[in-house]
């Protein structure tokens, strides 16, 4: 800041403040635009201040598995253990789930819909997720009561669980109460529970109600064998809101398409951008070398990841050619 000036340079802001400001930008902008502005902004993006909440659900629904793993590893490393909320869809292996559990000790909200994780890995790592208060394991078809039991025994602060299933995955199958029993016996502090399209009986639903005395919301849409009378619920559980079983919901209105029943996902990771948006950041000589990267979204991911990872290696201003601070 020059003497006598009433204005401060943006790079004089502390990293915490920069992190709050950058939080209003899309992830694409944080990772590809902000690091090019000046050295202090690059350092802020490399540090934990921008990565206490990570939401890559939209992007993860479209990307390739190995790109997803690399992105998660990079962003989790940048959070430096301060990550409080992680939203990602479609984990494809147990290894990346184990990585998340081992490096996110401060995590409170974890949303992993449509992930291919197993009971065994959840049992091995649940103890590292003891601070979790909100967990979404909807449409995770490879886990069952063993995983839920391990979570209930280790995550004592859990107050919200989403375990919705897709109706096509449960249609025509027999009743199975083991997950409901695991929830009832190990998660007494639940206040919010979603079990849409689960094949549970009335007895299991009543067991949950009697064990989870603090429950305020219960989603039973599509649990066709559950019979709970409105009069009984109002008299016995006056503070409880029950949704379903007979409710015209998203599936029926939209021809049974995939959906997230308790999703707060936004356009945070739409990343529907084209080559023209990055023209300002590359010289004309680079056009030919990068042209092939714009052919499809998969190639675009490769460019993004290469760019993000490359920036990490430039600690000094000379390596990037930083412009003056705005």
The answer to whether residue 96 sits within a structural domain is: yes
Residues 25 and 101 in one domain: no
Q: Torsion-angle region of residue 80: left (phi > 0), alpha (psi -120 to 50) or beta?
A: left
201 plus 74 within the same structural domain: yes
Q: Distance between CA atoms of 38 and 12, rounded to whole angstroms?
A: 11
User: What residues make up the domain containing 71?
Assistant: 50-248
Which of 196, 222, 248 is the last residue in one of the domains? 248
Please check the confidence at residue 123 and state whether its pLDDT lies above 80: yes
Most confident of 16-20, 179-183, 277-281: 179-183
Same-domain status, 227 and 210: yes
Sign of CA dihedral 116, 118, 124, 125: positive
In a domain, 282, yes or no: no
Give pLDDT, residue 69: 94
Helix axes 65-79, 297-311, angle to 10 degrees: 30
42 inside domain: yes
Q: Into how many domains does the chain fold?
A: 2
Runs of H (alpha helix) within the chain: 15-22, 27-32, 39-46, 57-60, 65-79, 94-103, 119-125, 145-154, 167-170, 178-186, 202-211, 230-236, 250-253, 287-291, 297-311
One domain, residues 98 and 166:
yes
Lowest mean pLDDT among 50-64, 107-121, 175-189: 50-64
Amino acid 247: pLDDT: 67
Give residue-wise pLDDT tens across range 129-178: 999 999 999 999 999 999 999 999 999 999 999 999 999 888 888 889 99
Considering the domain boundaries, does residue 227 fall inside one?
yes
pTM: 0.74
Same domain for 24 and 100, yes or no, is no
Task: Tell me which of 227, 248, 269 is where a domain ends.
Answer: 248
């Amino acid at each position: 800041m020059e003497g006598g000036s009433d204005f401060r340079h943006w790079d004089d802001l502390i990293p915490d403040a920069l992190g709050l400001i950058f939080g209003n930008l899309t992830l694409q902008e944080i990772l590809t635009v902000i690091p090019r502005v000046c050295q202090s902004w690059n350092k802020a993006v490399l540090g934990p201040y921008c990565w206490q909440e990570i939401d890559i659900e939209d992007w993860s629904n479209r990307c390739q598995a190995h790109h997803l793993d690399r992105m998660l590893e990079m962003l989790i490393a940048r959070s430096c253990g301060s990550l409080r909320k992680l939203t990602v869809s479609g984990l494809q292996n147990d290894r990346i789930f184990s990585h998340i559990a081992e490096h996110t000790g401060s995590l409170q909200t974890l949303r992993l819909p449509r992930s291919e994780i197993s009971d065994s890995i959840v049992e091995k790592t649940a103890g590292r997720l003891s601070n979790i208060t909100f967990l979404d394991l909807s449409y995770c078809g490879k886990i069952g009561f063993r995983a839920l039991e391990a979570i209930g025994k280790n995550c004592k602060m859990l107050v919200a669980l989403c375990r919705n299933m897709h109706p096509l995955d449960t249609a025509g199958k027999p009743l199975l109460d083991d997950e409901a029993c695991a929830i009832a016996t190990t998660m007494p502090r639940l206040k919010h529970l979603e079990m849409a399209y689960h094949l549970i009986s009335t007895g299991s639903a009543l067991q949950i109600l009697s064990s989870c005395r603090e429950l305020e919301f219960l989603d039973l849409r599509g649990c066709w064998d559950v019979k709970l009378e409105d009069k009984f619920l109002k008299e016995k559980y006056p503070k409880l809101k029950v949704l379903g079983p007979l409710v015209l919901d998203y599936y029926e209105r939209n021809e049974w398409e995939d959906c997230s029943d308790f999703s707060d996902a936004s356009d945070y990771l739409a990343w529907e951008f084209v080559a023209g948006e990055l023209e300002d950041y590359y010289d004309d000589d680079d056009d030919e070398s990068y042209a092939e990267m714009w052919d499809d979204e998969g190639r675009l991911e490769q460019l993004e990841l290469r760019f993000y990872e490359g920036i990490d290696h430039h600690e000094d201003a000379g390596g990037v050619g930083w412009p003056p601070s705005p």
